[in-house]
Structure 1
Amino acid sequence: MRVTDPEILRFIAETEAAYPAEANTATPAENRRHYDAMCAVFRRPRPEDIVVTDAVVAGVPIRRYRPRGAAGPFLLYLHGGGYVVGSLDSHDDVCAEIALATGAELVAVDYRLAPEHLYPAQLDDVETVWRNDSAHRPGIVLGDSAGGALSAALCRRMRRMGGPMPLAQCLIYPGLGGDMSAPSYAENAEAPLLRTADLVHYAGVLTGGDMMLRETDPELSPLRAANFAGLPPALVVTADVDPLRDDGPAYVDKLVAAGVAAEWRNEPQLVHGYLRARHRSIRAARSFEAICDWLQGQLRSTG
């Protein structure tokens, strides 16, 4: 697959200037240094009318974004970064803009990263924060990339444990442990910003090299689950020029077959990580708006 959109080509060039392809497989410290520099290139000032506070929930750092007049269900946001990079700061502007667009309080989670903390530390942290906030009000879970996978995993864990289930799940270019013989893994093997080889590398870092976990643990790889009934409604958004693309429709198909309302939105010409291009690309801006509109609709129908 090739990108021809001039705006996305410029976004790719800007990204790779700060975060070259080899950063994905560099040491964690070097990867994080490049990633933080790249995030700074695209970071936007927080919009007005958002009150932002940092806190710690049972040892897990969080950041709350509260628009003026926010009430009703909340949003739990889980950042991407291959479980190795990312922080409260890396997605700060994205979270603030989603909170403003939806009118809901958004809670971002600074879950522990690999390889210092192997799976399931990340999901354990997400569960801790989710249980804390959902004890007082219902919520929707969403995230991008690894955060999208953690969002799906949280839903599975709540079903398994009989915990409070999210009202809905919104997964943005998620990696869900899909079949790596699917077309997108070959077509987009050398895609800009994320290659198929990078996915294999990150999976090994997350599990300490135990690659069988990807095949056997449905919370690590939600597509490996046998039963999809009882999960919340979903929106899955994929980038067409991304090796992870085919995980999205596979997940939606399994949800729909189990009687769960789910929809798939695929974005032509867009690449993994395109949320950062929302102020540089018409395509990315429209996708971001569609995501916020869907979230607002779910909040309105359940609040």
Structure 2
Amino acid sequence: MNIETFITRFEQGLANVTHSAPAESRQRYDQLCETFAPSDPHGMRITDETRGCVTLRHFIPAPAKPGRVMYLHGGGFTLGSINSHHGIAASLANQLTRHVVSLDYRLAPEADYSDMLGDCINAAHNMAPIAIVGDSAGGRLALDLLPRLPHSVPLGLIYPPVGPLNPQTLGPDAPLLSRNDVLSLTPFCPGLSTHVDTLPPTAQLEVLSVEHDPLTSPLEQAVAAWRRNGAQVGYRRANTMVHAALHAHALLPEMQSAWQDFCQALNRRLDH
């Protein structure tokens, strides 16, 4: 598959998502993303666990290194689930050779951002993750979760919204994600209007972006600010790729290469 084919297929699928009621939109989004996911890695054990109103999906490779990694899916705070991002979480567990726990946190408009973050905090306190990986909206949750943990852990961030998100800071429109799409997120996460530049100097991050994404420009500004403040930040950008391309990482060579590099860099931090 090439990137143009992916964009066309994903755009067609999104057209069926955006004009439906929330429950139906989420089901259609899950189905769309699942069409690009690879088969589960051989020998991986996958189980679901319910805690209160939140479901956790466990991805356990055989064998698995010690420790659990928390994965927070994307979807613009209104879409996404452990189903839509199943393929990404399974690949992450396989690449890291570690137990990955994907969190089905609550979504807007039924829940507000404090509810979503609260779900992440509760899950993190229960599982004591050795790292947190966040994809898009999940990346922002990972950033806001870090200072609320009892001790710092490495973060893996995949094209997250970091702010300040406004017409002056965003990059140009791109396929699958326009500037207006990004600005429409602010009612669900008011903090997106401010910069995430208060990470402690001890913070360790691996960051993955894509070339065509209005979020890449503010993200690269954030990476520079984090580095100036002393944080250890690895950064790579997948050329020719677009937001959401990680769903098709097994089909897009450029995305697969950047994804593998990201996972290997995160693994080196965990093995250190």
Structure 1 residue ranges without an equivalent (≥5): 1-5, 216-220
Is 2:70–2:133's contact at 8 Å kept on the other side of the alignment?
yes
* 1:15 equivalent among 10, 14, 18: 10
CA shift at 1:254, angstroms? 1.9
In 1: Cα distance, 2:196 partner to 2:81 partner: 28
Look up the match of 2:161.
Answer: 175
Q: Deviation per CA, 1:199-250: give whole Å up to 9, x if none.
A: 122222x15xxx5x444xxxxx5x245x332452011111110010012222
Q: Deviation per CA, 1:33-85: give whole Å up to 9, x if none.
A: 43123113213221111111111235421011111121323211000000101
In 1: Cα distance, 2:82 partner to 2:196 partner: 30
Between stretches 53-62 and 7-16, larger displacement belongs to: 53-62
CA shift at 1:30, angstroms? 4.9
Q: How do 1:85-164 and structure 2 match up within 5 A?
A: 85-134=79-128, 138-158=129-149, 163-164=150-151
In 2: Cα distance, 1:155 partner to 1:231 partner: 12
Q: Secondary structure of 1:73's partner? A: strand
Q: Secondary structure of 1:65's partner? A: strand
Is 1:73 aligned with 2:54?
no
TM-score normalized by structure 1? 0.83
Q: Secondary structure of 1:125's partner? A: helix
TM-score normalized by structure 2? 0.92
* 2:265 equivalent among 283, 289, 294: 294
Q: Deviation per CA, 1:96-150: give whole Å up to 9, x if none.
A: 111112111001100000000011111110111111111xxx5100111001111
Aligned CA distance change for structure 1 residues 73 and 232 (closer, same or farther; 3 Å): farther
Between stretches 46-55 and 32-41, larger displacement belongs to: 32-41
In 2: Cα distance, 1:29 partner to 1:58 partner: 20
Is 1:192 aligned with 2:175?
yes
RMSD, matched Cα: 2.1
CA shift at 1:179, angstroms? 4.2
| Identity fraction in percent | 28
In 2: Cα distance, 1:39 partner to 1:114 partner: 19
Aligned CA distance change for structure 1 residues 262 and 68 (closer, same or farther; 3 Å): same
CA shift at 1:288, angstroms? 1.4
Look up the match of 1:259.
Answer: 230
Q: Secondary structure of 2:184's partner? A: helix
In 2: Cα distance, 1:260 partner to 1:12 partner: 35
Structure 2 residue ranges without an equivalent (≥5): none
CA shift at 1:26, angstroms? 6.0
